[in-house]
Structure 1
């Protein structure tokens, strides 16, 4: 039987000391642009490879997407900002043509015991699709109270309305030939906060310039979900959030800020920031 949905494929291949985007990494915003999830995945992978420690947990990742990431040779660099006994703060960046195009900071906390006492927690848990429903589909979605999941992208429901949206991603990976880690996979999906929270009756109304991922644990298995939690907008600026979940429950939150999606060419100028300071490790 012919598949009616897409299966996830690696977003980068190794190329010397850098990486080349594959067709799976391309964005719908322009023919030569890399989508946000691969950017987040490569940043998260760099941080995890360079600074991962079994005694520490990466509780927060914040990525700033301040330049278009082109479909060309990409290098990664990283550095330590603070290396403490309980808290560690590190940074990674993507570099193209000698210039930084995206950057992420991560906070690692030393693992310990949960504090005693009881606190309020939202009892509601998003419901994933059945395990037998599109079992290896790259991305499926639903909206509102509808329990019907459909492969994405699609032109009709669940994305054409104003109801709460959710998605389920399976098998996402960053580097060809390299087993993806739960942290990198979660970082990739976190960039879709804008998709679930900023999509409405007139399409995706805002383009996110950053993403913050906050975790209490890593997802279990090779699939995870994202459900819109809030959306607020004023003067063309939006703040949105989404809940991360798997088949065992909620394990994190994502937030993103965005700017109104006004039509413009893919080659239009974008806000620029100063080049990164010297002293970075670049591979």
Structure 2
């Protein structure tokens, strides 16, 4: 039986080795965002997740470029309250913290009385989703394809993906799938006519509920830029509709801008 693809292989309780699937477009021996946020989310969910608590927010700071070396996870229970639980995970390489993630969980309860405003959303998935591992990307006026290069334009963008496993031999939980897919907020907001020229330094995922299936859509909602700084937000969707929001801040990375029209693997976002 062929092993499912994964970003990391676990070496010991707290150490992980990146696989080739974790390779980034940004440079040789750089790890990609979905791999890093997925590993942090998987560790936090495994160690601190609870059926009584809803994982409502994950905030990940990507301090510096992570490399293809052994990565150690250090976790901490920050607060374990009656209604709120806060936990933290750091990913360390060669003694330096490269990623820090914070998970905020709220105790599940009955909703309050009354009705509230809710935004109207419109997201139509591709008619044919013929692969679990490949991304389908779309933009206004251009439909859906599997090639990122087809969507190097200035239109609103969206994609649908089923993330591969963060850790080999450990099927992603709904939280891990949501966080890994939400990292694509940077792609759908920062992909322009010349490719992606902003590199995100963080990711915030806010969830009203967990996704009910593994295939998750991400659709751009806003994108604001000035002085080489970008802020982008997107809505997350599953087969039942919208369930959360992704937000990224990013900084211009002009010297290493990714032009997908020159990519030999244009349908690969990892």
Pair in the same fold by TM > 0.5: yes
The 5 A counterparts of 1:1-283 are 9-17=5-13, 18-130=15-127, 132-146=128-142, 148-152=143-147, 154-155=148-149, 157-158=150-151, 160-263=152-255
Q: Check whether the contact 1:137–1:151 (CA below 8 A) recurs between aligned residues.
A: no
SS at match of 1:220: coil
Q: Check whether the contact 1:243–1:252 (CA below 8 A) recurs between aligned residues.
A: yes
Q: Check whether the contact 2:8–2:166 (CA below 8 A) recurs between aligned residues.
A: yes
SS at match of 1:11: strand
1:134-167 residue CA offsets vs partner (Å, 9 max, x unmatched) = 2424211010154x32114x32x22x11110000
1:208-260 residue CA offsets vs partner (Å, 9 max, x unmatched) = 10000000111112210100110011111111101100111000001011111
Gaps of 5+ in 1: 1-7, 266-283
Q: Check whether the contact 2:85–2:104 (CA below 8 A) recurs between aligned residues.
A: yes
- Give the aligned CA root-mean-square deviation in angstroms: 1.6
How many residue pairs match? The answer is 253
- In structure 2, relative to structure 1, the CA distance for the partners of 1:195 and 1:264 (3 Å cut) is closer
TM-score (norm 1): 0.85
TM-score (norm 2): 0.89
The CA deviation at 1:78 is 0.6
1:53-110 residue CA offsets vs partner (Å, 9 max, x unmatched) = 1110110000000111100111111101111100111110101112211001111100
CA distance in 1, matches of 2:49, 2:16: 21
CA distance in 1, matches of 2:11, 2:35: 16
SS at match of 1:218: coil
CA distance in 2, matches of 1:71, 1:106: 25
CA distance in 2, matches of 1:111, 1:253: 19
Question: Which residue number in structure 2 is paired with residue 275 of structure 1?
Answer: none
